[in-house]
Amino acid sequence: MARFPTTRWSVFTAARDDPAAARTALEHLCLAYRPVVLAVVRRRLGANAQAEDLTQAFFTAMIERRIETQADPLRGRFRTLLLTALNRYLHNAQAARMAVRRGGDQVHADIDDHAGAIVDAEPDPEGVFLRHWALTVIERALAAVRAETAAAGKGALFDALRDYLVEAPDSDDYARLALQFGMRPNTLAVAVHRLRQRLRASVRAELAETVGCDDDVDAELQVLRGALGGGWRRVEGRAAASTGL
């Protein structure tokens, strides 16, 4: 399997050689995927304002305890590590909450002041996590493509076409947008097609930052497809006939 020469994950798992670089890489990954954890915690806490604090405490614990030493440098995915750590963290929070209910006075150090806030577990916590992880990957990929197009002076066009990179526009949409931008409908269709290609490449680049080899990118892409359902399949080109491309 081909190894990526330098990615966030490869730097992260090289902890023995450069712990400081590993910490920086982990901080970057935690910042990038903080919305995933926050979304899951909010599902567990409802609208509880402590969700933000608990999420921050979770990432602080990950960084301070050098969780990179638990990562497999040869086979690994940040998504899997993140989910495992989050499940353990929330399980400890739930256990601490139950101990408080029973009158115990010992609260696990990982939980700080949040133990009593955890509510009943989600019926499908992994499904919730995967859905938000996939949406975060797509959002980050879209932001990268948006930055590219804005740098080329086409930010307004991207903003108008963004919603059609997953769901194919119908003929009325093409006609309206073509009129808005002074373009022929076929030319606009080509622009959508090219943006979809850039989005696919951007998604792969985003996934590559969180895994250890090419095969793992393909595997993560399969997981992402499953989490998003038909929407991502349309992005991958199966809507070509309906868009006339």
pLDDT in tens, 122-167: 557 688 899 999 999 999 999 999 999 999 999 999 999 998 887 7
Burial of 188 (0-12, 13-18, 19+ CB in 10 A): buried
What tokens does 231 get?
A: 């929407």
Closest of 86, 98, 24 to residue 61, by C-alpha:
86
Closest of 130, 134, 161, 133 to residue 145, by C-alpha:
161
Asked whether the beta carbons of 26 and 34 are under 8 A apart, the reply is: no
Give the three-state DSSP class for 167.
coil
pTM of the predicted structure, to 2 decimals: 0.75
Question: Does residue 16 carry a pLDDT above 90?
Answer: no
Question: What length is written for the chain?
Answer: 245
Closest of 8, 4, 2, 119 to residue 68, by C-alpha:
8
Burial of 170 (0-12, 13-18, 19+ CB in 10 A): exposed
pLDDT at 111: 36
pLDDT tens track for 94-117: 776 666 666 655 444 443 344 344
* Residue whose structure tokens are 């949409």: 173
- Kindly report the average pLDDT of the chain as a whole number: 77
pLDDT at 118: 46
> How many angstroms separate the CA atoms of 130 and 109, rounded?
28
pLDDT tens track for 50-90: 888 889 889 888 888 777 666 655 556 888 888 888 888 88
Question: Does residue 39 carry a pLDDT above 80?
Answer: yes
pLDDT tens track for 203-228: 999 998 888 777 889 999 999 999 98
Q: Which of 2-6, 18-22, 110-114, 211-215 has the lowest mean pLDDT?
A: 110-114
Asked whether the beta carbons of 54 and 93 are under 8 A apart, the reply is: yes
pLDDT at 72: 59
Contacts of 153 (CB under 8 A, 6+ apart): none
